[in-house]
Structure formats: structure tokens, C-alpha cells
């Protein structure tokens, strides 16, 4: 039985347990409408015969969480369990629906505490098929223990045993001082050593963590080994700047040889230190861009999502891009190196010289006799130094020629026009400064000519 009240928007089968929605591009196909309206088609169509691959893809969109959940303040109470019944509804239809819809809930695991890690470990051991569905693992705790290490080892073993896609993204926080025992840190490092199919790796550091301490150093060495082993790793994100620290040397050596590395994201250092370190990373021929964001742009730990009783795919760290000043010491020192400068241009949004931004950066007024931007950069404009093209920086500032009144083009050429910058209202979308021209007022009429004309009229 077909419902005709939907008109031309589609055909809906109302006599089947799962409502089957057929979009117009399919049922408008010549010869297919007759097949779909036949009794034999709907008599043979049931949930047991419907392809589970299609149901899995449909339910994956139904249970997906927002891409970037907002962090919940500690004084806000957790949502009521009834608030999540809408997303848990596919699990309550019947057993086939629960079996098909449960793996998408385990696409992303965000573990904030050792207790969550222990509960997750118990579930994954009881249901090994759920371990094969995990693609993203976020270890948000600054005190990772043995439970987090066992979860990571279990996910790696499940991928290698069943030859599936396995874990593709790992987001971890370096151990804080005094939080984990040495044995727990070594267990986590050993689990990281076993990774071989990662594509995205994010390494975070808490405020009081020093790389020279044994636990963070062991984890960094394990991450360097994972970069060497994961031949498909294309993105690496650090929430701390690269510095000439002995603990980072193995990681730098691995980044220089990573065959599939395309993007390296880290905060911009305050000063140019470790010249050989940055040049060594830039020597990787596969590297396409270096994203240098402001240090305040990347949090030291993933934002805590609202407390839930289930797991769901979510982005633990929403991207945040803030333009950088081209006058920084690091960018000025990196400019002579062509390869490094090209990588920075490809991945970093640099504020053009003379532009205005709502973050408190003001443009310099273009007054008479002022030094132009080309003289500051040795005869090159800011666009040629750090590539202000539309693809990288769409709000590039281009100074306009001063506009003068038509009556002042021929007369009074000795008086140069005065330029001033109009300060726009504060806001993130005002990137252009408008140059206006104020022409001097016309001089008083010539008294000599006036007297001659008066005398001539009197004589007449």
C-alpha cells in the first residue's frame, strides 16, 4: 500500500515494519515505478532481507553527535537521561536494529578518567566486535594509567587480528608530573609502540608537564617510533612548539622521514631557536604545509564533553585558526629559507601588513614621507614575502591609490594631499583600511585681477 499524500516528494511504504523512503531521483526512473508499485516487490521486502550495509550507513548518520560539542562548565549539572532517548531510539526498536546501530556509537572513544577507561575496557573485552568499530581514541586524562594502556593495546590487537581498518586517530596527553607510576607510563609507551595504521596523531601537554621528565620522555619516544611505523600518517598536531629539546629529537627525526606526512600543526615559537630542527622537518619532501597557530589557540587538553552514558562520534578538539603577525621574530628569521617559508605560507594565515583585525591589531597610517611596506621587507611587498593570495589569506590588504577631486587635479599641484586612515568599527570581519584624501581648500580670489576688472568696467 502506497501513501499518496506525499505527492512528488517521494514514495513511502507504510505497510512495512521499517518505513522505506524512496527519494524522487530513484522512483522517477522510467520502468522502475511499475516495479516498485507491484505487490510482489513489497510482499518480498522485509527487514530480514533489507541489506544491513545500507541500514548501517543510515543509522550511522542518525546516531552521530554534533561535530564539536561545547565544553560543559563544572557548575552545570549533567543532562537528564531522558534527553538522550531520542538518539538511543535505534537501540530500542528490536534486536537487529540494536545489533546494527551499536557499533557506530563506538566510532569515537573519549576517556576522561581512569574509571571510564576501566569501564570501557570491560565492555570491549566482553564485546570484541565493538573494539573493531573504534576509529578514534582520545586519552584526555593527564594521568593515564594502566587501563588506558590496556584499551589502546586491545584496539591495536583487534585490528591486527581481524585485518580491519582499526584505529586511525589517536589523541593523547603527556603524563603530568607525579600522576602516573613509572610502570603505568612504560605500559602506555609500550602500547603506543605497537601502533602501525595511524593516520592522525595529536600530542598534548599539560601546563606543568616538562619534557625532560621520565614519563613524558618515554611517551614521546614511543610516539616517534609510531611515526616511523605508521606509513599512512598524514597529520601530526602538537599543542606545544617545537624546541631544541633532547626529548624532541627522536620525534623530529621521525617527522623528517615520514613518507605520507602532509600537515604539521603546532604553535609558533616566540623566537627563532633550533634552526637545524626546523630545517630538518622542512626537508621532508612529502610535507605540504606547516600550520603555526597562536599558542592560545590550541588548548592543552581536549574540551570536556557533556557527561553521557554512551559513546558517540565527536570531534574532541574543534579547529581554531588565528592570524599571526608578519613582524614576529620567528617569521622574520624563517624568511630566508625558501622551503620552510613556502610550507608556512601554505598552512598559516598571516595578517597582512597594514590590515586591521578585531583582535586589537591596528594598521599604521600611510602619511606623507612614511616608510612603505616594501622598504621594510627589502624591496618586496608583504604579499611576496608570505604569499597573501586568495587561497591562503582571502582578506589580503591592498592599498588603493588616493582619490582627488577633479577640480584639484590642475590647480594647486604644489600642495600635496593629506592621507589618513579611517578606523573601522571593531569586529572580526573588518580587514580592509580605506584611504581617503582630503584636498586643501581653494585659495581666496586674486585681488589684482579683481581690481583690473573693476577698473575696466568703470571706464566702460
Predicted local confidence at residue 414, as pLDDT: 47
Nearest to 311 by CA among 123, 92, 55: 123
Structural domain tally of the chain?
A: 3
Residue 354 is predicted with a pLDDT of: 59
Q: What is the DSSP string of 56-121?
A: HHHHHHHSPPPSSPPPPPTTSPPPPGGGGHHHHGGGGS-HHHHHHHHHHHTSEEEE-SHHHHHHHH
Task: Say whether both 190 and 312 belong to one domain.
Answer: yes
Across 348-360, average pLDDT:
61
Angle, helices 275-282/338-347, rounded to nearest 10 degrees: 70
**Domain membership flag for residue 358:** yes
Residue 258 confidence (pLDDT): 95
pLDDT reading at 460 higher than 60: no
Residue 395 has pLDDT above 50, yes or no: no
Whether residue 64 lies inside any domain: the answer is: no
Taking only the tens place, the pLDDT of each residue in 259-287 is: 999 999 999 888 887 778 899 999 999 99
Same domain as 381, residue 334: no
**310 alpha carbon, distance to own chain's centre:** 25
Residues 387 and 333 in one domain: no
Q: Is 198 helix (H, G, I), strand (E, B) or coil?
A: coil
Cβ neighbours for 161, distance < 8 A, ≥ 6 positions apart: none
Question: Can you give the pLDDT at residue 264?
Answer: 95
Predicted pLDDT at 140:
86
Which DSSP state fits 324? B
76-80, 114-118, 155-159, 382-386: segment of lowest average pLDDT:
382-386
Residue closest to 235 by CA, chosen among 313, 317, 174, 134 = 317
Assess if residue 330 is contained within a domain: yes
When pLDDT is averaged across residues 342-369 and rounded to a whole number, the result is 61
173 forms beta bridges with: 204
In CATH, what number is assigned to the domain containing residue 129?
3.80.10.10
Note the pTM of the prediction, 2 decimals: 0.63
pLDDT of residue 145: 82
pLDDT at position 340: 94
Is the pLDDT score of 428 beyond 50?
no
Q: Is residue 315 part of a domain?
A: yes
Q: Are 290 and 355 contained in the same domain?
A: no
**Least confident piece of the model among 20-34, 210-224, 327-341:** 20-34
Q: Are 56 and 100 in contact (CB under 8 A)?
A: yes
How would residue 47 be classed by pLDDT, with cut points 50, 70 and 90? low
Residues 304 and 402 in one domain: no
Task: Report the pLDDT averaged over residues 1-23.
Answer: 41
Higher pLDDT residue, 244 or 28?
Answer: 244
**pLDDT tens per residue across span 440-454:** 556 655 555 545 454
Residues 278 and 245 in one domain: yes
Q: With CA atoms as reference, report the closest residue to 348 among 335, 361, 364.
A: 335
| Same domain membership, residue 308 and residue 369 | no
Rounded Cα–Cα distance for residues 277 and 236 (Å): 16
User: Is residue 23 pLDDT above 60, yes or no?
Assistant: no
Question: Closest by alpha carbon to 36, among 57, 20, 18, 55?
Answer: 20
157 and 272 within one domain: yes
Residue 114 phi, psi (nearest 5): -60, -30
What pLDDT band is residue 166 in, cutting at 50, 70 and 90?
confident
261, 333: one domain? yes
How far is Cα 424 from Cα 52, in angstroms, rounded to an integer? Answer: 57
Residue 269 in domain: yes
330 HSE (CA, 13 A, CB side)? 19
Residue 239 reports pLDDT greater than 80: yes
Instruction: Indicate the pLDDT class of residue 235, thresholds 50, 70 and 90.
Output: very high
| Domain match, 251 and 316 both | yes
Is 80 part of any domain? no
Domain extent, residue 13, equals: 7-43
Structure confidence at residue 351 as a pLDDT band (50, 70, 90): confident
Q: Is residue 369 part of a domain?
A: yes
Same domain, 163 and 14: no
- 327 and 358: one domain? no
Whether 168 contacts 197, CB under 8 Å: yes
Spatial separation of the C-alpha atoms in residues 68 and 315, rounded to whole Å: 5
| Distance in angstroms (rounded) separating the CA atoms of residues 279 and 275 | 6
Residue 63: the pLDDT is 73
Nearest to 218 by CA among 168, 254, 252, 182: 182
Mean pLDDT to the nearest integer, 366-389: 38
Residue 74 confidence (pLDDT): 45
**Percentage of the chain exceeding pLDDT 90:** 27
The model's confidence at residue 123, banded by pLDDT at 50, 70 and 90, is very high
Convert the pLDDT of each residue in 75-89 to its tens digit. Answer: 445 555 444 556 777
In a domain, 343, yes or no: no
Amino acid at each position: 500500500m502506497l501513501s499518496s499524500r506525499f505527492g512528488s516528494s517521494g514514495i513511502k511504504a507504510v505497510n512495512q515494519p521499517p518505513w522505506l523512503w524512496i527519494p524522487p531521483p530513484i522512483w522517477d526512473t522510467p520502468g522502475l515505478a511499475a516495479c516498485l508499485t507491484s505487490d510482489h516487490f513489497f510482499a518480498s521486502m522485509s527487514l530480514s532481507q533489507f541489506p544491513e550495509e545500507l541500514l548501517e550507513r543510515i543509522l550511522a548518520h542518525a546516531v552521530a553527535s554534533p561535530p564539536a560539542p561545547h565544553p560543559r562548565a563544572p557548575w552545570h549539572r549533567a543532562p537528564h537521561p531522558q534527553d538522550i532517548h531520542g538518539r538511543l531510539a535505534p537501540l530500542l526498536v528490536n534486536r537487529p536494529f540494536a545489533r546494527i546501530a551499536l557499533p557506530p556509537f563506538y566510532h569515537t572513544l573519549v576517556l576522561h578518567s581512569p574509571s571510564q577507561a576501566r569501564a570501557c575496557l570491560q565492555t570491549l573485552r566482553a564485546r570484541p566486535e565493538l573494539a573493531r568499530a573504534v576509529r578514534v581514541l582520545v586519552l584526555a586524562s593527564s594521568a593515564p594509567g594502566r587501563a588506558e594502556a590496556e584499551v589502546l593495546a586491545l584496539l591495536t590487537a583487534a585490528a591486527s587480528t581481524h585485518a580491519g581498518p582499526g584505529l586511525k586517530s589517536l589523541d593523547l596527553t603527556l603524563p603530568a608530573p607525579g600522576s602516573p607510576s613509572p610502570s603505568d607510563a612504560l605500559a602506555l609507551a609500550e602500547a603506543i609502540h605497537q601502533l602501525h595504521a595511524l593516520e592522525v596523531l595529536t600530542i598534548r601537554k599539560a601546563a606543568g608537564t616538562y619534557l625532560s621528565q621520565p614519563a613524558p620522555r618515554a611517551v614521546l619516544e614511543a610516539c616517534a617510533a609510531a611515526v616511523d611505523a605508521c606509513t599512512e600518517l598524514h597529520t601530526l598536531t602538537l599543542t606545544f612548539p617545537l624546541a631544541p629539546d633532547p626529548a624532541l629529537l627522536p620525534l623530529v627525526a621521525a617527522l623528517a622521514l615520514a613518507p605520507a606526512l602532509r600537515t604539521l600543526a603546532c604553535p609558533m615559537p616566540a623566537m627563532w631557536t633550533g634552526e637545524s630542527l626546523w630545517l630538518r622537518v622542512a626537508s621532508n619532501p612529502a610535507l605540504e604545509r606547516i600550520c603555526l597557530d597562536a599558542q592560545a589557540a590550541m588548548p592543552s587538553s581536549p574540551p570536556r564533553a557533556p557527561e553521557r552514558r554512551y559513546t558517540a562520534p565527536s570531534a574532541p578538539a574543534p579547529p581554531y585558526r588565528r592570524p599571526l603577525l608578519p613582524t614576529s621574530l620567528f617569521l622574520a628569521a624563517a624568511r630566508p629559507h625558501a622551503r620552510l617559508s613556502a610550507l608556512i605560507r601554505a598552512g598559516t594565515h598571516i595578517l597582512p601588513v597594514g590590515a586591521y583585525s578585531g583582535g586589537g591589531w591596528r594598521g599604521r597610517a600611510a602619511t606623507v614621507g612614511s616608510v612603505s611596506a616594501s622598504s621594510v621587507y627589502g624591496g618586496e611587498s608583504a604579499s611576496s614575502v608570505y604569499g597573501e593570495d586568495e587561497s591562503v589569506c582571502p582578506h589580503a590588504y591592498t592599498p588603493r591609490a588616493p582619490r582627488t577631486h577633479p577640480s584639484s587635479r590642475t590647480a594647486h599641484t604644489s600642495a600635496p594631499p593629506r592621507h589618513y586612515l579611517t578606523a573601522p568599527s571593531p569586529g572580526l570581519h573588518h580587514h580592509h583600511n580605506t584611504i581617503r584624501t582630503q584636498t586643501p581648500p581653494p585659495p581666496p580670489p586674486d585681488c589684482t585681477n579683481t581690481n583690473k576688472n573693476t577698473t575696466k568696467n568703470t571706464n566702460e
